Structure 1
C-alpha cells in the first residue's frame, strides 16, 4: 500500500532505512513530525477561513441574534451580569455564559456584528482543534484531522456557528466533556472524569441543565448496553466519583443560586418551564418549532451538506471496527452518542436544526476512525480513496445540475419567492463553478490516492459557499435587519427620541436595540420572548399600553413608533397615527414626531 494516501504523513522510505543509522532514523522521524504539524496547520487554516471570513459582513439579524447581542450589549454598558435583561426586563431562557463572552468581546473590540459572533465562531474553531488534539491523544491522527476538516467546513455546521446561538459554544464544552469521559472510562483514570465534570459544568452554564442530562443519558446507555471490560457496578461507582460531583457543583451552582435568590419565579421558569416544558411541548408561551419524527433527516443532510457523499462512501465501504484500543472505543462512543441525540431530540416536541449540531463532529469522528483503520490495515487501500473521489465528483456534478435547474421557470420563480434578490442571480455562476472546481479537483486528487491534498482541496468549497452566503445577507439587509432603519431615523430625529414598537418584538425589530435605540417601549405586547419579563413589569418599564404614547405626545417629547407592515391595519385603526410624519421602509413604516419646538 502507498501510505502517502493517509493524512498521517508516513513515508515509504522509512521502512528501508538501515537500522544501524539511528541519526537518519531520527531525522526522518523529525521530518514526519514536522509534516504532520503542517497538515494540522492546513486543516486549522481552512476551518478558520470558513468560520471567520467576512464574519461581520452581514448585519445583526432580527432573530435570536438581535436578542442575544442586545442582552450582551446591555451587560457591557453597565447592566446586570447575573440576571440577563432584554429591553429592560429579565430574560432568563438560558444561562449567561454566551452573554458574558459577547460582553467581553464588546469591551475589548467595540460593539459590532463580528464582535458579537466571535465567541460562537471561536468555539466552533476550538472544536476543530479539539478533534486534532483527541486524534493525537488516542494515536489516531488521521481520524482527528478528518473529523476536524469535516467539522470546520460542513456548510450547515459552519453557517450555524457563524450566527449568535448558544449551541456552538455549548457543543464545544459538551464534546470536550464527552471526550474526557471516554478517556476516563477507557483508561480507568478519574483525573479525566474530573476534567469532564468541569467541561460539562461550563456547558451547563452555556445552555442549561440539558447539557448534564444528555451526558448522563449517554453514560447511562453505555453503562447498560456496552460496559466493555467493566462490571456494571464498578462502572457506576466510577461515574459517581465524589470529587467529580463536587467539582461540577462548585462550577455550575453559584450562578443558579444567585439567580434563585435575586429573581422571583426563576426556579419555575428556568428549570420547569424552559427545560422540561420545552421537551414535553407544554412550555409557556408556545414559541418553539414543531415537526414530525423525521424532522432531523433533511436537517442533517444540510448540516453535512458537501460531505454527505463522502461520508456515505465511508459508512458503506470502510471496514467495521474491531478491537478494544482507545481510538476504536471512542468511535463506538461517538456513533452511539449520535444515535442517542438523534432519537432524543426527534422524540421531543421542541425541534430546531441546531439541536443536532454535535452529531456532525461525532459522525465525522466515527467514520474518520474507520478510515484510518482501513488504511492502516491495507483494506481497500486503493479502492477506498477512489470511492471517496467518486463521491467528491458526484457532489460537483450535483452542484452543476442544480445550477442548470435554476434556469427553469418554476425553480427560478421559487428562488425569487424565497428571497434571493434578482440581482444576485449574477453571482450564481461564480459560486457554482468555484464549488464544482473544488469538488472536481479534490475528487481527482482522491482518485489518484493523494488523500490529504484531495480532502483539503475539496473542503475549500466551504469557503466559496460561505462567501456567497455573506454577500447574500448583505444584499438582503433591508429584509433581515433594522440597521438601515436605525441609520435613517437617527439622521431625522433628535438623540432623546422615545421609541415605541406597535404590538410586536423579536423577529421583526429587535435589532433596533443593537443599532442605537437605547430602549424600545412595546405597546400592547404580543412578544413571546418578553413574556416572562413583562408579566411582572407593573411599572410599565417596557411593556406599555397606548397611554404611554399619548403621554409622550402630550408632553411634547420627540417619539417614533416602529410598525411592521403586517400590523399597519391595526395601527391605522387605533387612530394614533393622526398628525404624525411617516418614513416607509421595506417591511415597516416608522411614524414619528420631532416634538414641540423648544
Structure 2
C-alpha cells in the first residue's frame, strides 16, 4: 500500500486532473434546455423551496413529493440561493460538483490500490466517459448518487485495506446520504462490501463491518425520511404508492425473462462507459489473471464492485443508461491499474493521445448535440405564447413538468383528452401530443395557437373556449 498521505508531486497531479476536468465540464454548462420531466423535477422542487420555504417536503403542483428523498432539491436550492432563482445553470451545479467528487474519489482509490502512476489515469479516464461527461450537466440525482457511492467505497478501502476502522463511520454516513439522494438504491455499497468480506474472510467476514457509531448514524439518516413519508402519505398510500410502487417494484424484476434483458443491460453499460468500454474485456481478463499475489486482494475487490453493481442494476425492473453510471469510476480503476502496469516505452504518449482524442470527440459531440436540440425544440415559442396568461394550463401526453418550469406556474397533467371536457367552460390552454389529437372531443371549443417539437415529439398548443382568454396571442 502507498503512504497514507498524498505526496506533493501527486497533489500537483490531482490539481491538474481537477482543473482539466472542470474545463471539460464547464464549456457549455447550463446551455441546454430541459426536455424531460426527469430533468425538470428537482429544479421545480428547489424552486418550491426558495419560493414557499418547503424545505422538509418540497412540493410539485402543491403536492408533497415522496417518490425520491429531497437531498438533490436541497442542493439545487442552495446553489440557486445567491441568484434567488432556479435556472438551467444553477440547477446543474450540484451535478457538476458531484462529478468532481467522483474524479477525486476515483483518483484516491486508484492511488491506494495501484500506486501513484495509476491515480491520474483513473481520474482522467473517468472524466472522459460518456456517462460522466453528459450527466454532470443534468439536474438529476444520478451524478450526486454516483459521487456518494464512490466516496463510500473510498471509505471502505481506507477501513478494510488501510486497517483504519474509524472510516466505517464515514462509509455508513455516505450510504445514508446515497439513500437520501435516490432511495433504497443507495444501499448498493452494502451489498458490495458484504460480498467482499465474505469472499476474503469467510462467513465471519461481515463482522469486520461492525461499527456502532456508523450503524447508529445510518439508522439516524434512514428512519426520519421513511417516518416522514409514512406520516404524510398515510399508512395505505405509503405502503402501496411509495414503498411498493416506487421503492420495491421499480427495482425488483417482473415479467417474463428473455435474452433481451441481458442484451439491453450490456448495451446500456457499454454506452455509459464509452469510449473506454472497448477496453473493459481486456482489463477484466488482466485483473482475473493477475500474477502478483499481493495485487489479487485489491483486484478482487474492484472486480466484485464492478460485477455486483452491474448485476443488481441489470436485474432492476426499470432500465435507463444513467442507472449504470456507478460503473464509470470502478471501470476507470481497472483501466488505471492495468495501464500503470504496462511496460511499453511510449505508454504515456499513447495514453495521452487516446485521451485527447476521447476528450475532444466527446466534447464536440455534446456541444453539437446540445446546440441541435436547442435549435429544433419548440419550447421557446410555446413559452412565449403562454407566459403572460393567467388561465389554467392543461397537458396531455407531454412532459408537463418541463412546461411548468419554463412557464413558472403549475401545469395540470390529464390522463386523457376526454378529461378536458368538464374543464372547457372555464377556459384555459391545452398542450397536447399530436399523436393523441384524434382523441380530442369533437365539440371541444379550441383554437390552435402554436406547434413545435418537444423532446423530438410534435406537440400542439390550443386555447380553450374562444379568443377571450388567448391573452398571449
Give the TM-score, by structure 2 length.
Answer: 0.85
Q: Give 1:245 shift.
A: 0.8
Distance 2:376 2:7 in 1: 51
Q: Give 1:314 shift.
A: 4.5
Residue 160 (1) aligns with residue 135 (2)? yes
**Which aligned pairs between 1:139-288 and structure 2 lie closer than 5 A?**
140-212=115-187, 214-227=188-201, 232-233=203-204, 235-264=205-234, 265-281=237-253
Q: Give 1:545 shift.
A: 4.8
Residue 476 (1) aligns with residue 446 (2)? no
Q: Give 1:203 shift.
A: 0.6
Tell whether the 8 Å contact from 1:224 to 1:232 is kept in structure 2 after alignment: yes
Could you tell me which residue of structure 1 aligns to residue 462 of structure 2?
A: 591
1:515 maps to which of 397, 402, 406: 406
Distance 2:359 2:229 in 1: 41
Distance 1:85 1:461 in 2: 41
1:562 maps to which of 422, 431, 435: 431
Residue 499 (1) aligns with residue 374 (2)? no
1:582 maps to which of 449, 457, 461: 449
Q: Give 1:172 shift.
A: 0.7
Change in Cα spacing, 1:331 to 1:162, as seen in structure 2 (3 Å) is farther
Distance 2:280 2:252 in 1: 33
Tell whether the 8 Å contact from 1:169 to 1:206 is kept in structure 2 after alignment: yes
Q: Give a deviation string over 1:534-572, Cα, whole Å, max 9, x none.
A: xxxxxxxxx97532332x23xxxxx3221221122122x
Distance 1:87 1:476 in 2: 27
Change in Cα spacing, 1:33 to 1:188, as seen in structure 2 (3 Å) is closer
Structure 1: runs of 5+ lacking an equivalent: 1-7, 9-31, 284-289, 376-380, 386-447, 527-542, 554-558
Could you tell me which residue of structure 1 aligns to residue 304 of structure 2?
A: 336
3-state SS of paired residue (1:350): coil
3-state SS of paired residue (1:93): coil
Change in Cα spacing, 1:584 to 1:520, as seen in structure 2 (3 Å) is same
Residue 118 (1) aligns with residue 87 (2)? no
Could you tell me which residue of structure 2 aligns to residue 15 of structure 1?
A: none
Q: Give a deviation string over 1:319-362, Cα, whole Å, max 9, x none.
A: 7152447xx64432121111112122223332222222111211
Query: Aligned Cα RMSD in Å?
Result: 3.1
**Which aligned pairs between 1:525-536 and structure 2 lie closer than 5 A?**
none
Structure 2: runs of 5+ lacking an equivalent: none
Tell whether the 8 Å contact from 1:124 to 1:169 is kept in structure 2 after alignment: yes
1:546 maps to which of 421, 432, 438: 421
Size of the aligned set, in residue pairs, is 454
3-state SS of paired residue (1:522): strand
Distance 2:354 2:278 in 1: 16
3-state SS of paired residue (1:295): helix
Could you tell me which residue of structure 2 aligns to residue 358 of structure 1?
A: 326
3-state SS of paired residue (2:450): strand
3-state SS of paired residue (2:413): strand
Change in Cα spacing, 1:346 to 1:521, as seen in structure 2 (3 Å) is closer
3-state SS of paired residue (1:190): coil
Tell whether the 8 Å contact from 2:434 to 2:459 is kept in structure 1 after alignment: yes
